[in-house]
C-alpha cells in the first residue's frame, strides 16, 4: 500500500516539474496553430475551379516614323588628331546635307563616337600603323506614311555627303500606345468568344472572370538591314548615289490575353 502511494506521489511530482509543464503547453499551442491554419486556409483560400482561355488581338498599321542609323569612318590616318579632324569635317558635311532636306537638329543625335589605333603585326610584334575614327548618328524622320520616298532620299543624300556606313533603318508608329490598347480589347473579345463555345462543349458554366494576363507577341520596331561600305572621300567629290528604295510596308501589333474564368 505504501509502495502504491509512493509511485503516485512520484508521478504527481514529475507532472509538476517545469520542463514537463512547458512540454505539455508547447504541444497544446502547436495543435492550436495547426487547427487555426487549416480553418483559415478553408475560409480564405477556398478551392475554386478555374479555366484560362487565351485570345489574340491583331492591329495592322502603316509606320509613320523611321530612324536611320548612319555614320562616317576614317581608317589608318597617320595621327589621332588628323583622324578626328577628317572625321569631324566629313560628319559636318553630312549633318548639313541632312538638315537641308528639312530634318530639324532635334531629330539628329549621336549614337557613338570612337577613336582607336590601328595595329599591324610585323617582325613578331604589333606596331601602331595609324588611327581609326568613327561616328554614328541616328536621324529621325516623321510623316513617312505621307512621304514614302523621304527615307530613301535621306539615305542617298547622306551617302553623297560622305556617309560610308548605314547600319540600320527602324520603322515605328507614333500612336503605338493607342494601337496596343486596341489590340488588347480585340484579344479579350476573342477570348470571350472562344470561352462561350468551349464552356458549352464542356457542359460547364462561367461564374465570373477572376483576372487576366498579357503577353506581347509583336510590337513595332522591326529592323531592316541596309549596309553600305562605300569608302572614298565624300562631299562634293563623291558622285550622287541613286535614290534608295526603302519601303516600310504594313506592320502588326499582336497581343495575347489569357482570361481566367471561375466555372461551376
Which CATH number goes with the domain that contains 164?
3.30.70.2970
Tell me: do 14 and 29 sit in the same domain. yes
- Contact (CB, 8 A) for 227 and 184: no
pLDDT of 121:
82
Tell me: do 158 and 101 sit in the same domain. yes
- Contact (CB, 8 A) for 202 and 247: no
Tell me: do 76 and 184 sit in the same domain. no
Tell me: do 109 and 37 sit in the same domain. no
pLDDT of 22:
66
Q: Is the dihedral of CA 233, 236, 239, 240 positive or negative?
A: positive
pLDDT of 20:
59
pLDDT of 207:
83
Tell me: do 13 and 31 sit in the same domain. yes
Q: How does pLDDT run along the chain (264 residues), one tens digit per residue?
A: 555 545 555 554 554 566 656 666 667 666 667 666 655 555 444 446 888 999 999 999 999 999 999 999 999 999 999 999 999 999 999 999 999 999 999 999 999 999 999 988 877 788 888 999 999 999 999 999 999 899 999 999 999 999 999 988 999 999 999 999 999 999 999 999 999 998 888 888 888 889 999 988 887 754 444 444 444 334 444 555 566 777 888 899 999 999 999 888
Number of separate domains in the chain: 3
pLDDT of 122:
79
pLDDT of 71:
96
Q: Which three cell numbers stand for residue 85?
A: 579632324
Tell me: do 236 and 125 sit in the same domain. yes
Range of the structural domain that residue 69 is part of: 64-174+224-247
The total number of residues written for the chain in this structure: 264
Tell me: do 86 and 138 sit in the same domain. yes
Tell me: do 72 and 163 sit in the same domain. yes
Amino acid at each position: 500500500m505504501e509502495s502504491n502511494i509512493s509511485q503516485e506521489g512520484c508521478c504527481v511530482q514529475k507532472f509538476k516539474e517545469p520542463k514537463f509543464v512547458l512540454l505539455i503547453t508547447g504541444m497544446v499551442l502547436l495543435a492550436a496553430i495547426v487547427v487555426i491554419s487549416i480553418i483559415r486556409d478553408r475560409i480564405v483560400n477556398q478551392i475554386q475551379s478555374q479555366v484560362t482561355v487565351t485570345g489574340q488581338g491583331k492591329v495592322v498599321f502603316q509606320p509613320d516614323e523611321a530612324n536611320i542609323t548612319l555614320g562616317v569612318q576614317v581608317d589608318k590616318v597617320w595621327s589621332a588628331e588628323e583622324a578626328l579632324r577628317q572625321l569631324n569635317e566629313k560628319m559636318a558635311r553630312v549633318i548639313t546635307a541632312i538638315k537641308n532636306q528639312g530634318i530639324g537638329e532635334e531629330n539628329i543625335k549621336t549614337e557613338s563616337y570612337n577613336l582607336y589605333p590601328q595595329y599591324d603585326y610585323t617582325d613578331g610584334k604589333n606596331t601602331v600603323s595609324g588611327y581609326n575614327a568613327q561616328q554614328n548618328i541616328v536621324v529621325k524622320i516623321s510623316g513617312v506614311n505621307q512621304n514614302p520616298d523621304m527615307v530613301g532620299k535621306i539615305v542617298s543624300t547622306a551617302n553623297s555627303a560622305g556617309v560610308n556606313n548605314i547600319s540600320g533603318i527602324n520603322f515605328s508608329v507614333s500612336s503605338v500606345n493607342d494601337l496596343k490598347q486596341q489590340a488588347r480589347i480585340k484579344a479579350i473579345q476573342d477570348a470571350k468568344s472562344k470561352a462561350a463555345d468551349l464552356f458549352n462543349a464542356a457542359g460547364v458554366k462561367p461564374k465570373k472572370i477572376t483576372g487576366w494576363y498579357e503577353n506581347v507577341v509583336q510590337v513595332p520596331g522591326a529592323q531592316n538591314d541596309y549596309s553600305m561600305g562605300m569608302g572614298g572621300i565624300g562631299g562634293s567629290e563623291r558622285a550622287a548615289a541613286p535614290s534608295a528604295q526603302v519601303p516600310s510596308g504594313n506592320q502588326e501589333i499582336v497581343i495575347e490575353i489569357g482570361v481566367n474564368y471561375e466555372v461551376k
